[in-house]
Each structure stands twice: as C-alpha cells, then as structure tokens.
Amino acid sequence: MAMTAAQEAAFKAGSGNVEPNLLHLLCLGLLIGFLFWWAAWAIVDVYSGWTNQRLKEAVMGRSVIRAVLLLVVSIWMFCS
C-alpha cells in the first residue's frame, strides 16, 4: 500500500528529508550484504573444520545447503 502525500511529507520531515524508497533500498542492501557475509563466514568455518578432519562430510554438506537456502529465501522474501 502506497503512502499518501501527508504520510510521505511526515516521513521526510521525521527522517531529515530522506526519500522512503532510498531508505528501503539502503536497509535491503545492508540486510543482503550481512547475510552474504555471514554465509561466507559460515562456509569458510565449516570448510576449515572439514579440512582439519573435525567434521564429517555430511555435516559440511548440510551446512552449505542451509547457508545457500537462507540466502535464496531471504532474497526471495525481501527483494521481490
């Protein structure tokens, strides 16, 4: 549902004359950037455990699938 002119004017006044669409894109960018950073960290951490033979191959596979699914579902839900 789009904002009315009065709501948009109130938002701009409260946010220091920032457009709502710009703030929306900034928040989405931060969220997706953080999720990619977290997924990369998780995959590297699991991979280092696997190379040191502290984790089984099945655990590594499940962890990578979970990280990728988190990214795909988050992008689908928030960026569509």
- 37-76 pLDDT, tens digit per residue, is 999 999 999 999 999 998 898 999 999 999 999 999 999 9
**pLDDT at res. 1:** 77
Greatest CA span in the chain, whole angstroms? Answer: 61
Any idea what DSSP says for residue 4?
P
Separation between Cα atoms, residue 26 and residue 20, nearest integer Å:
10
Phi-psi region of 17 (alpha: psi -120 to 50; beta: other; left: phi over 0): left
**Exposed e or buried b for every residue in 49-65, given b needs 16+ CB within 10 A?**
ebeeeebeeeebeebee
Percent of the chain residues past pLDDT 90, beyond the cut: 85
Q: Is the pLDDT of residue 2 over 90?
A: no
